[in-house]
Amino acid sequence: MLFRIRLEKERQGQCTSIEDKMKRLQKHQALEAELAANRKRIDQVLQRGKELHAKHRDAGITSRCDGLYSRWMALVDACAEQSRALEEARDLLTFRQLVERVLSWAHERELMVTAGEMGRDLEHCKLLIDRLDGTKADSSVDEQTLEQINRLGEKLIGQGRTSREEVQQQQQNLNHTWNALHGKLAAYRRELAAALEVHAFNRDVDDTNERIHEKIAAMRSDDYGRDFATVDALLRKQTALERDMSAIHQKLIAHDKDAQNILAKKPPLKHTILDSLKKLEESWKELSQAAELRNENLDKSYKLHKYIDQVKKAEQWAAQLRNKMTSYQQPKTSAEAEQLIAQHAERRAEIDGRQDELHVLHEEGQRLIAEQPEHKPEVQRAHKRVQNSEHQLRQTWEAEKAS
């Protein structure tokens, strides 16, 4: 290997162009890699030699190890000397590699800036920002990289070698590209930040819209109660839903205010803000209509089942009063007979006292038939039961009076 280094050194002296030196540098870098690969192996051999010498006290081992060490150091020194001789080529190669890296980096960002993507949604916008400056960005290029290239370029230009014009031209082109891109990147960053605010607003609106549609689904339930108790429970639930609607309406007001503030900044994707507000307005209108319709249907159901409940209570009253009038012991004395007659008169007064209530119940039934003709048979049957109960009650009273 030492012979190869000396041969390369002689050839280097004959090199006149930077291209030749670059070729020599590539070969030299291969030699350096080979040296680095064998350094550990040499150390192991020398260490083994020391161990054998300590064990056997053999001068030949020491001599051979010393010879190996001398030749190794000569090889290392020769490699270092050649490395210094190829410094210009090394600097130029480094300069070219750095320039290529920066230009490649700049090209990727130029493509992003040219595409001008603002993101399909909040996550995509965050991904674009991350790709531009965050954890997914190529962090191998920054202001320090440019400073390193310029320092290296000035060094190469100052040496006045054959590569001077090439380096000068590449340096000028690179700085021009960097400065032009720097302004574009700054503008694109601002646009992405503004777009992120728009996407965040739209996401917030989507969440509110989702809440609205949950309420719409609840309002569109076809359960209006099976009886008076369940209708009453549904009315309480409806009241709670309308409280939720009030909270949502306050959120809509806040959304409108936020939209005005964002639109005043003239951001990108402003049409999506208007679309979101329009969608929200339509959903709110749909919810309001569903709430109004449900209130109407619940009110009808409440009136119907309240009427049915009042009919049942009237029937229960009549049945209980009839039972009282027929479940008594025959009086054994005149005093007991007088007491029974007095009770019978009180029950007649109770029956007469209920006439206004029964009349109101009758009128309520007639209103229900007019307002809810679909329930006419059910209301008529209930009304008929009340009439029958009252008739039977009076018959019982008359029969008991006669007895």
Long-range contacts (CB closer than 8 Å, 24 or more residues apart) made by 395-402: 396/322, 396/325, 396/326, 397/325, 397/344, 397/347, 397/348, 397/351, 400/325, 400/326, 400/344, 401/344
Q: pLDDT tens digit string along 291-328? A: 999 999 999 999 999 999 999 999 999 888 888 888 77
Can you say whether residue 17 is alpha, beta or left, with left for phi > 0 and alpha for psi between -120 and 50 degrees?
beta
pLDDT band at 46 (very low <50, low <70, confident <90, very high): confident
- Residue-averaged pLDDT of the chain: 86
Residues, the chain, total?
Answer: 403
Task: Say what the pLDDT of residue 63 is.
Answer: 84
Provide CATH code, domain 87-193.
Answer: 1.20.58.60
Q: pLDDT tens digit string along 234-266? A: 999 999 999 999 999 999 999 999 999 999 999
Q: Return the CATH number of 1-85, one of 1.20.58, 3.30.450, 1.10.357, 3.40.50.
A: 1.20.58
State in words which class domain 306-402 has: mainly alpha
Q: pLDDT tens digit string along 166-181? A: 899 999 999 999 999 9
Q: What mean pLDDT is predicted for residues 193-199?
A: 96
| pLDDT-wise least confident of 5-14, 37-46, 146-155, 225-234 | 5-14
Outline which parts of the chain fall under CATH 1.20.58.60. Answer: 87-193, 194-301, 306-402
Task: Say what the pLDDT of residue 17 is.
Answer: 58
Task: Say what the pLDDT of residue 224 is.
Answer: 92
Torsion 173-174-179-183 (CA) sign: positive
Task: Say what the pLDDT of residue 277 is.
Answer: 96
Q: Indicate if the pLDDT at residue 1 is higher than 60.
A: no
Task: Say what the pLDDT of residue 21 is.
Answer: 65
Q: Indicate if the pLDDT at residue 8 is higher than 50.
A: no
What span, in angstroms and rounded, lies between the C-alpha atoms of 181 and 178?
5
CA dihedral (388, 389, 395, 400) in degrees, to 10, reads 160
Torsion 332-338-339-344 (CA) sign: positive
More confident residue, 162 or 165: 165
The percent of residues in the chain predicted with pLDDT above 70, rounded, is: 90
137 three-state secondary structure: coil
What span, in angstroms and rounded, lies between the C-alpha atoms of 113 and 194?
15
Q: Indicate if the pLDDT at residue 338 is higher than 80.
A: no
195 neighbors 118 (Cβ within 8 angstroms): yes
* Three-state SS letters, the chain: CHHHHHHHHHHHHHCCCHHHHHHHHHHHHHHHHHHHHHHHHHHHHHHHHHHHHHHHCCHHHHHHHHHHHHHHHHHHHHHHHHHHHCHHHHHHHHHHHHHHHHHHHHHHHHHHHHHCCCCCCHHHHHHHHHHHHCCCCCCCCCHHHHHHHHHHHHHHHHHCCCCHHHHHHHHHHHHHHHHHHHHHHHHHHHHHHHHHHHHHHHHHHHHHHHHHHHHHHHHCCCCCCCCHHHHHHHHHHHHHHHHHHHHHHHHHHHHHHHHHHHHHCCCCCHHHHHHHHHHHHHHHHHHHHHHHHHHHHHHHHHHHHHHHHHHHHHHHHHHHHHHHHHCCCCCCCHHHHHHHHHHHHHHHHHHHHCHHHHHHHHHHHHHHHHHCHHHHHHHHHHHHHHHHHHHHHHHHHHHHHHC
Tokens of 243: 């409280």
Cα–Cα nearest to 325, from 355, 311, 345, 354: 345
Task: Say what the pLDDT of residue 293 is.
Answer: 95
pLDDT band at 85 (very low <50, low <70, confident <90, very high): low
Q: What mean pLDDT is predicted for residues 111-139?
A: 87
Neighbours of 262 (CB within 10 A): 18
Provide CATH code, domain 194-301.
Answer: 1.20.58.60
116 three-state secondary structure: coil
